[in-house]
Each structure stands twice: as structure tokens, then as C-alpha cells.
Structure 1
């Protein structure tokens, strides 16, 4: 199938994903095969794929709370029959929350609620979200720069679970489910062998792999790469990413999977090489970089997660939380350290002033270090907090990743509020 002109511009990098999001915001259908569609509403909501079978529809994922009804309405414009099975590719809310409106529709129309199939760990994830509801709400609000956000919980849990691989036969359609660990430990990718269609879930998301989120549980860069290699071996003709437009053509699908795997393998390989030589986390963070040839690919842009965050995650996976600095094994309270250093510098105002100078010279990382020390040493000094906010804004302006900008904005707001107190 020929790709549309917007896709071609996305593929060659001349269009941004924001343009595609605007184009699909009404609820767009991509015709994948005669009996398969993928529904898109925004980049930030996971893709939802519907498969028409003799026993009813099979859905791969269900959308997030605010797009679930719109997504179901779009599916109903294509097929108005019962939904037989729902496959969760993982337990994040932008893939699972739509089950609520699907169940409500089934109840209203007198149909059985669809069976939910997923990896065994999805239910454990959902329970963890309930156990840590306050923290998860706080973190999600910080990650997307939405103060006061409350994370939705209570999604219906899977009816049927599997461990490594599951083969389903539904209404004449053979559907293969494979487990892998990447962004999550409960991830599934879906293979339709007769049609050579692969639904990757969030193993493919049209940005650099999200394996380094600063405030989330452990993620799995090496296993993410392994899952992409496993998909590559299937030789799909069509690739349906977890986020972003569908990719048609075996060569493009192969390239997307291969490039993602290679970039992750590079980070893992180089991190382990330094780790095995006894390097500290600081040395590894400043010594391991992704080759520019990957970061310039339009489907591997570091617009969401940051490769440096992935290096931290890889280090943590193999080496634990200790970073190799004796000062950090049993550290002094941050406020005490800040006060001591401020005293040595001649006052917190001296630290703040130097931070301003460094920020102006483009040394934003070092500037923020000093600004945070000054702010901790003088938390009630409005002038120093104003400088701290200014320095943080400078660093935010240099960040390419959404996460980097959002988490730094949390502290910039704190500083700005303190400056007015």
C-alpha cells in the first residue's frame, strides 16, 4: 500500500509528529488490510487496532480515558458488531483505559463483555498503581507538566494471561502474542502470520526508546533490543507502532526495527564496557553517547526520553543504586552540604551569582548545580530563588526531551514561587 504524502514527509524528516497529530485529531482510520484498521486520535494516545473475524472484533489496545469514546465511535463507523477479545499490549492507561466504555457498550447492547488477554504482569502492574496511587499521580503530573494530576486506576484486569508466547485462533484469524521486556515488564507484541502484520505495542513509538524515565521503575534496554530483533526476524510487511503512523513495506519495517535495536545495543555495550573497567556512573554518563547517525533518524529523535537517562537505567540494572562516589554512599543532608559550601564561597548569593554567569556562558549543567546549592542554602531568599528559577529556565531551553523539560519545570516553578514569598 502506498503511504500518504504526510507519512513520506515524516519518514524523510521534513514534517514533525505534531503535524501528524493535528491531522488525526478528529479520529483517523488507517486501512491496514481488508479486515484490519488502526485508529489514531493523537500521538500521545496509543494506537488501537481492530481486526474483523467471524466471531467478532479483536482489538489490540483500547486508548486512554479522554480518547476512548472517540476511538470506539471511529471503530463503530467501520464495524458495528460485538467485540470478542481485547489484547492489552501492556498496562499503561493510554492502552487499557478504553475497556470501560467498551464494557459499558456491551452491557447496554446485551452483549457479553469482551475477554481481555494480556501478559501475566499486567495485573501486577495495575495493582502496583493502586498501591502507589499518590506517588504515581505526582510523578505523572511532573512528567507531563500537569500539577495536580490524578492518575486513573481501576481498569478491568485480564481474564486470560500468558508467560512467553500465546497462540489464539479467533474466527478464522491466527494471532500470535509474544512477551518481551522494554519500557515495561508486561509488554506484548502481536503477530498476524497469514497477513504478515506486526503490532509492536510500545516497542516502537516513533521516538527514541523510552527506557530511561527518571522517576519510573526499572526499564530494560537490552531486552528491548532483543524484542526488536525478534520482530525483525518475523519479516513483517506492515508495522503498526504503539504510537505514531503505520509503516507499510517490508524494507521500511525492517529498517525501523533494526535501527532501534542497534541504538539500544550500542548504549548497553558501551555502558557495560566502562562498567567492567570499574568506571563510576559519572564517568559512564559523560562517556557513553548514541552515534549521531541514529539520533537524526525521524523515528529515533530524542523528543520524549533522553539517551542519557537510558544510560542511567542501564547502569542501575547491572550495578544497583550506588554511583561509585564515596560521598554518595552515606551522604550528608543536602541542606547541610549546601550551607557548608555557601559558607566557603562567601555566601549563598555568591553561588547564585556564579550560577548566573555560567548559565550566560552556556555551561548550564554546572550553573544548575550551583543554583540548586544556593537555593538549598537560602530557601527563603527571594532574590536567590529568582536567580535559581532563571538558571533553570535557561537549562530547560536547551533540553530536547519532553521529560527533561517537564521535570526541570517542577523545580523552576518551585523557585519562582519561593522568589515571590
Structure 2
């Protein structure tokens, strides 16, 4: 029996083989936190539609669950537990994001607030190396309110080139390089990346910034 189970894409198709209790679940579950927003550039996923598909799959008496990626899952209770935590994680991201939207928090503020509960975060099927909680929160926010965060500086932002020029002029190239190296030494990798990016946008041939 062919079933429509939209999730990673809207056209996901599952196959239920009742005589063998086998469910082919397409890309709606795999051994990683779901990619609710694909940074490579594809239409964003509908979170609640994905939840409904997982609820549908939970209704089947499945003994063998076969995803399109990662290994099959065996055993009714094991399958039920994995499908349940997967749908709970997606529902949690959606509900908590909406909760904070209704309290007038910005997208960045919500990213800082929303984290999976420990029982979900520790689950082997919810490790963040494909999709992430932060990207998913931003996707959920954008689906309801669009790109504007509510912060006026986002309305007419400086270009990255203009911002880089002003940062280098304000701090000076030598001090910025020094700060970048210090950030790298302290394993503050994101800050090191941002500082070196400012430098490279203005001084694309700077070997020290490139090395960092």
C-alpha cells in the first residue's frame, strides 16, 4: 500500500507491506536530527505536516522500519519509541518557537532560548549533525513572520562590505588580526571566523587572515 507522508519534501511516498509488517518510510526518519531547514537551498519543510506524517506511521503495526537513509530499525517497541521521539522533537521545536513568538521575542532571541529537553537531546536519532535546532527555530520563525526579526537595524542594514570596512577602520588591521588570533587560541571559533571574514572581504590577499 502506498501512503503519502510529506516531511523532508512534500512528495514523500511511503510503502506499507502488511503481510510482512514492513514500512518503507522514505526520508521522514533517519539517524540524525531532522533537516527541517536545508542550508543547501531547497523549499523549507512544513514542521507540522512532518509531525502528522509521523503520527500516521505510528498507527501501523510495524515490525521492520526501512528508511531511505541509515540502517533499518527492527522490533515493534523499538520502532514506536524512535518514531515517537522524532515526532516529539519536531513538535517541541515548533511549539516552543511559536510560544516565544507570541511573547514578542526576535528570531535570534528564540534561538538562544530553545533547546531540546535532555531526554530528546541525548537520543541517538536526534544528534545534530544534519539538521540543527537553531536552524529549525529560524525556519519556523520565518514561516510565520518572514525575514524581519523585529529589530529596526534589519530594515536597512549595512552591506557586509561596508560593515567590514568600518570594522577594520574602527579597530585597525593589526589589532583585528591580534584579536582574531587570540579568539582562535581560546577556541572561540565563531568569533575568529567572523573577524577573519571582515578582514578577507577588504584584504582578500591577507595571508594571516587566510591562514586563520
Question: Given the two structures, how large is their TM-score scaled by the length of structure 2?
Answer: 0.90
1:219 to 20, 45, 65: 45
Name stretches of at least 5 consecutive residues in structure 2 with no aligned partner: none
Q: Which residue of 2 aligns with 1:312?
A: 138
Give deviations 1:222-246, integer Å, cap 9, x for gaps. 2212211111122322211121222
Asked whether the equivalents of residues 2 and 13 of structure 2 are also in contact (C-alpha less than 8 Å), the reply is no
Q: Which residue of 1 aligns with 2:156?
A: 330
Q: Which residue of 1 aligns with 2:67?
A: 241
Once residues 174 and 47 of structure 2 are traced to their aligned partners in structure 1, the CA distance between those partners, rounded to angstroms, is 42
The offset of 1:195, in angstroms, is 3.4
Number of residues of Structure 1 aligned to a counterpart in Structure 2: 211
Give deviations 1:140-176, integer Å, cap 9, x for gaps. xxxxxxxxxxxxxxxxxxxxxxxxxxxxxxxxxxx13
Larger radius of gyration: 1
Asked whether the equivalents of residues 202 and 242 of structure 1 are also in contact (C-alpha less than 8 Å), the reply is yes
Q: Which residue of 1 aligns with 2:96?
A: 270
C-alpha RMSD of the superposition? 1.8
The offset of 1:272, in angstroms, is 0.9
Once residues 374 and 270 of structure 1 are traced to their aligned partners in structure 2, the CA distance between those partners, rounded to angstroms, is 37
Could you say if the C-alpha distance between residues 292 and 351 of structure 1 is closer, same or farther in structure 2, counting changes exceeding 3 Å? Answer: farther
Q: Which has the higher contact order (CA 8 A, sep 6+)?
A: 2
Q: Secondary structure at the match of 1:278?
A: coil
1:257 to 61, 83, 88: 83
Once residues 187 and 340 of structure 1 are traced to their aligned partners in structure 2, the CA distance between those partners, rounded to angstroms, is 48
Name stretches of at least 5 consecutive residues in structure 1 with no aligned partner: 1-174, 391-421
Matched, 1:280 2:106: yes
Once residues 151 and 187 of structure 2 are traced to their aligned partners in structure 1, the CA distance between those partners, rounded to angstroms, is 26
Once residues 250 and 193 of structure 1 are traced to their aligned partners in structure 2, the CA distance between those partners, rounded to angstroms, is 13
- Runs of 4+ in structure 1 off by over 4 angstroms are none
Q: Secondary structure at the match of 2:89?
A: helix
The offset of 1:340, in angstroms, is 0.8
Asked whether the equivalents of residues 349 and 384 of structure 1 are also in contact (C-alpha less than 8 Å), the reply is no
Q: Secondary structure at the match of 1:365?
A: helix
Could you say if the C-alpha distance between residues 187 and 271 of structure 1 is closer, same or farther in structure 2, counting changes exceeding 3 Å? Answer: same
Q: Which residue of 2 aligns with 1:363?
A: 188
The structure in which a higher percent of residues are helix is 2
The structure in which a higher percent of residues are strand is 1
